[in-house]
Structure 1
Amino acid sequence: MADVGSVDIELELIQWLQAKAGPDIVVRDEVDNQLLAELPTIQVQRLAAGGDDGLRLDRALVDVDVYHSTRGEAFALAGLARGWLLTDLPGAVTAAAVFGRVSTVSPPAARPYENTALRRVGATYQIYCHPVP
């Protein structure tokens, strides 16, 4: 039996979202100094919160931030990502993870960012997953 939390949910979600988003959108875990040249970008980060059922089921809280050149485009892409996560992710199986229930903890909302040449919209999701048996 795999250890609880043995799924790297950031890596699995990045790969899964990248396949959904296509080649024109960058999906990553960290942003860097090239962010402005790599718009639109979706950033995936697990929060230091959540838990497990004591066996194999991991309950992860994950922030999904969208960076785009305008507020409207950032909200539109955040809405697409929300739809993918809520409707397509439950039941999905990747090489390392089986995804279960997904819910919105905090819906897409504008979040501040230091660079005024881009806009950031973020949401928080609760995602249940476990390692592939």
Structure 2
Amino acid sequence: MDVEAELVAWLKAQLAVRVLTDLPADLNAVLPVVQVQRIGGSDDGFRLDRALVDVDVYAATRPAASDLMALTRTRLLAGLRGTTTNAAVFSAARTITAPAWRDYENTSLRRFGATFEIFCHPVS
């Protein structure tokens, strides 16, 4: 089960913005964007996966990036529990690092990010 892929698909439906794992070369042209990347975690070697997932949002302005990060966090924490996708059952999500401003080398856009722990297991 690919937690990144499942979260990308789920968040696309929840947020109605571009959600991806790899940033496009034309990032400025496709804002706003939500980036999902697994950065670690643990599992029980059988079914339970406790994925640490970094979520960064990119927007044209700081308020827009902050608002999109707040909405993304709300959806993850309040809406993910009990959700089943084609490959995963999500049992919980919690914040590891709260949303915060993150510098980015491209000064024509703004980024906010947070880290979440996502609890899930395969559907079958």
AA paired with 1:36? Answer: N
CA distance in 1, matches of 2:15, 2:112: 16
Q: Which runs of 5+ in 2 are unaligned?
A: none
* 2:33 paired with 1:41: yes
**Are 1:27 and 2:15 matched, yes or no?**
no
How many residues are paired up?
Answer: 124
SS of the counterpart of 2:4? helix
Match of 1:15 in 2: 9
In structure 2, C-alpha distance between the alignment counterparts of 1:20 and 1:31, rounded to whole Å: 20
Runs (4+) of structure 1 moved beyond 3 Å? none
Unmatched 5+ stretches in structure 1: 1-6
Matched, 1:85 2:79: no
Q: Deviations over 1:54-107 (max 9, x none)?
A: 320000000010000011110100000000000000110000000011100001
**What TM-score, normalized to structure 2?**
0.97
Q: Which residue of 1 aligns with 2:102?
A: 111
Tell me, what secondary structure is at the counterpart of 1:82? helix
Aligned to 2:62: 71
2:119 & 2:74 partners in 1: Cα distance? Answer: 16
Matched, 1:51 2:42: yes
RMSD: 0.7
Give the distance between the partners of 1:80 and 1:60, measured in 2 at CA.
20
TM-score (norm 1): 0.91
How many Å apart are 1:21 and its aligned residue? 1.0
Provide the secondary structure at the position in 2 that maps to 1:33.
Answer: coil
